[in-house]
Amino acid sequence: MENLSKERSIAVVIPCYNEETQILDVLKGIPSFVRRIIVVNDHSSDRTREVVQAYIQENKTEAVEFYKQQSILIKNKFNEADIVLAQIKEQENLKFTPSKIFNSNPEKDRIILINHLVNAGVGASIATGYKWCLDHSIDCTAVMAGDGQMDPAELESICRPVVEEGIDYVKGNRLIHRSAWLVVPKVRYFGNSILSILTKIASGYWHVSDTQTGYTAISLKALKSIRIHKIYKSYGMPNDMLVKLNIAFCTLREVEIKPVYRVGEKSKMKIFKVIPRISLLLLRLFIQRLWIKYFFRDFHPLFLLYHFSFILGGLACWYLVKISNKLISGDLVLDITMMTFSLFLIIGFQSLFFAMWMDIQDNQRLYSR
């Protein structure tokens, strides 16, 4: 990995909020092959900012020079699309969370501290870090939490598929580790499993699990393919990312990582509040994926099958309510009513089954083992 990192730039984004007791251990554990460490302080109310600032001043390590010269666009008859994208990028820069870089010489320092001027959420912090890495053409950008729940020694296995094999997005998976059932708190295990099932359907990555892990690595190509400023700002960010990446036809791989708990972290996530909110988010994202990916970008029959099943399912529900009301009131239910209900229900389920089967088959190419 050390030799390869001389040719490809690797950075780590560390979002943190009120992690004054944990952040130093995270920074000290980052491997040497990481050329840039981007700490994004989400307007912490504790001493997180002061702790990181002091560490930067005490460890003035310069980064290895790696910047890629970005060519200046000169308008010609072939590059109108490139110019339009450059203009859109300038407009989107205004939509990120207001922030300020602490470093006086960020182009040289290995550790960069970006302070949000307002508290915006973990997803917004990651978006800020992604933007810095995209602006500096980082080949592989990993994300580690600032609470010490991710082992820095596993960074290599997270980054290697991106750097060596060109995989667009790599995420850790704690649930396949044989200690998961024993180490992960049971409430979190249950909540993670429920959200993973819903995320499979919404994202199109049907083989993915442990969707709530934030230990990931993304390629420069994938960063360019999504609208970073539109990343979901709160705890649904990993789920939102998977849908965005699937719409952009990005390849994905999962690697086994250790579940790490009880290392002094203080969880800020209320699982029973998060699950309903993320579930509604996933429903919206699922509809969005169907329309963008399978209607506007590349029409596919599964678009029709899914929507046909939705319509028939809605009619079946309407008939079910009608039948239930008649049974409660003691009225006779006509045979034609029961037959219609059964027909809508059966054909609706068949359409849903075939749509999901097509969805799985179409997205098989994006999941790398």
3-class state of residue 335 by DSSP = helix
Instruction: Give rounded-to-5 percent helix, strand, coil for the chain.
Output: 55, 10, 35
Question: Does the structure show a pLDDT above 70 at 44?
Answer: yes
Taking the C-alpha atoms of residue 313 and residue 319, their distance in angstroms, rounded to an integer, is: 10
Q: Provide the pLDDT confidence category of residue 27 given band limits of 50, 70 and 90.
A: very high
What H or E segment, with its residue span, contains residue 50? helix 48-58
Instruction: Name the nearest CA neighbour of 342 among 368, 306, 316.
Output: 316
Least confident of 195-204, 272-281, 297-306, 335-344: 272-281
Domain residue spans in the chain?
Answer: 4-296, 301-366
AA identity, residue 51: V
DSSP 248: T
Taking the C-alpha atoms of residue 194 and residue 213, their distance in angstroms, rounded to an integer, is: 14
Residue 90 is predicted with a pLDDT of: 81
Q: What's the CATH fold of domain 4-296?
A: Spore Coat Polysaccharide Biosynthesis Protein SpsA; Chain A (3.90.550)
Question: Does the structure show a pLDDT above 80 at 64?
Answer: no
Could you give phi then psi for residue 14, rounded to 5 degrees? -120, 100
pLDDT (tens digit per residue) in 213-244: 989 999 999 999 999 999 999 889 999 999 99
Average pLDDT, the chain: 90
Average pLDDT over residues 106-128: 94
Instruction: Name the nearest CA neighbour of 261 among 186, 211, 199.
Output: 186
Average pLDDT over residues 28-49: 94
